[in-house]
Amino acid sequence: MRVAVAAPVDLRYLARRLAPALEGTVPKGLGGSVATSLAVELVDAGHEITVVTLASEVTSPAHWRLGSVNVLVGPYRARHRARDAFRQERNAVRDLLDSVDTDVVHAHWTYEFGLGAVAGRHPVLVSVHDWAPAILRHLPDPYRLVRLQMQAHCLLRTRHVAVVSPYIGHRLRRVGRHSARLLPNGLPLGSFLKRVPIRDGPVRRILSVNSDFSPGKNVSALLRSFRGVRQQLEDVELVLVGPDFQEGGPAETWAQKHGLASATRFAGPLSIEDVFAAMDRADLFVAPTLEESFGMTVLEAMARGLPIVAGRSSGAVPWLLGFGSAGELVDVRQPAQIAAAIVRLSRDPGRRALLAGQAHSRAGQFAWPILMDSYEAAYRHVASVRGSRR
């Protein structure tokens, strides 16, 4: 099939996978591991793929050919995007998609990419990757209010909807949207360790990977919990990875202000390869987030065979972890519960090994080759439905 993927994409990673010699010639783009790896997987499955994305590094539409993939890139403003509800970005996505011939568009996220796609001429499947009302609750500001309105408008205009987890499907049903396909996020086979490593020594390194230091990510509770952990475990280190977690960044500044920076390494943002390397050096993974629509970092930790502590009410995370069969679930709003779970697992290598094995096994259900049949069936259905073109 001819499939256009409209999404935030890590263009340099895409080039590294498909045309390594061109990696230095493309902009970084907006990032986004899911759509990037999906595009590569679709190419490997024999489909004709066009990627439509946005990048702040370009000021006018640009085109690259990465292996067999056409990549069309529109400009992404550095500031004031929300003032007109991302109108320029939405129009760029629409115009770039209208410039190509494709059987189906798979748009990711219900904002500029989803709205741009449904305004165009092709049949569209929109994947809902987050839940704007929950985000607005954690971050009540005008920007998130605009995003909420964009999501509502996109869902009203979209005929074919997919969700990345049952959690998002449940939220859609509560607002009256009952027809949504489950298409979970996936991981390339290369992201999986072939076997679960033996971690029967003392816990020395605890890892957490988060996209920011916002209230919803709840890393402040993890930092508070770590003080209690250090009172009971010797020579233990907490490693924090992601934007906002670099030395001198918002997380370290907050931790120092509250006297919670001791024995914590602020590693900052890392490439996906370096994230996996950090996971392989860790003994335990903690996901303190209050709400996740899927939980990619949790899935990545599962694929690396790490025992995991996460929130029992954190959106899709309990489902991802088999409702406790593949991870230790606690109330992450309570730092004492996070600390108790870390200490408990640290003192029980048998339990750690059991959870790590279960997590690794369950993660295999989300390998791209396992999911590809469902994605291809969705594309065929959307492309064949009469009147699905706008």
pLDDT digits (tens, 9 = 90+) for 157-209: 999 999 999 999 999 999 888 789 999 999 999 999 999 998 888 999 999 99
In 3D space, the residue among 203, 242, 217, 168 whose CA is nearest the CA of residue 339 turns out to be: 203
* Whether residue 172 is found in the same domain as residue 284: no
**Residue 160's beta-bridge partner residues?**
125
Instruction: Please report, for residues 215, 245, 283, 286, 297, the alpha-carbon distance to residue 226 in angstroms, rounded to integers and kept in the order given.
Output: 17, 16, 15, 11, 20
* Whether residue 307 is found in the same domain as residue 177: no
* Whether residue 270 is found in the same domain as residue 315: yes
Tokens coding 248:
């001198």
Q: Which residues contact 177 (CB under 8 A, 6 or more apart)?
A: 155, 161
* Model pLDDT, residue 178: 78
389 falls within a domain:
no
* Model pLDDT, residue 234: 86
Whether 58 and 27 have beta carbons less than 8 Å apart is answered as yes
Range of the domain at 93: 2-186+368-384
16 falls within a domain:
yes
195 falls within a domain:
yes
266 falls within a domain:
yes
390 falls within a domain:
no
* Whether residue 170 is found in the same domain as residue 197: no
Helix (H, G, I), strand (E, B) or coil at 381: helix
* Whether residue 344 is found in the same domain as residue 199: yes
Tokens coding 135:
């985000």
How many domains is the chain built from? 2
Distance CA 161, CA 177 (A): 9
* Whether residue 291 is found in the same domain as residue 273: yes
Q: Which residues contact 91 (CB under 8 A, 6 or more apart)?
A: 116
* Whether residue 205 is found in the same domain as residue 315: yes
* Model pLDDT, residue 177: 82
Kindly give the parts of the chain with pLDDT less than 70: 386-390
**DSSP states of 76-119:** --SS--GGGTTHHHHHHHHHHHHTS--SEEEEESTTHHHHHHHT
177 falls within a domain:
yes
* Whether residue 87 is found in the same domain as residue 97: yes
Q: CATH number of the domain that 198 lies in?
A: 3.40.50.2000
* Whether residue 121 is found in the same domain as residue 137: yes
**DSSP states of 307-334:** -EEEETTSBTHHHHTGGGTSSEEE-TT-
* Model pLDDT, residue 199: 87
* Whether residue 141 is found in the same domain as residue 34: yes
223 falls within a domain:
yes
* Whether residue 240 is found in the same domain as residue 275: yes
Whether 331 and 153 have beta carbons less than 8 Å apart is answered as no
212 falls within a domain:
yes
* Model pLDDT, residue 390: 47
* Model pLDDT, residue 179: 85
Helix (H) or strand (E) holding 6: strand 2-6
In 3D space, the residue among 103, 314, 97 whose CA is nearest the CA of residue 221 turns out to be: 314
* Model pLDDT, residue 132: 96
* Whether residue 225 is found in the same domain as residue 126: no
Residue type, 128: V
**Which pTM does this prediction carry?**
0.94
Instruction: Please report, for residues 60, 142, 202, 258, 270, the alpha-carbon distance to residue 36 in angstroms, rounded to integers and kept in the order given.
Output: 22, 30, 37, 38, 17
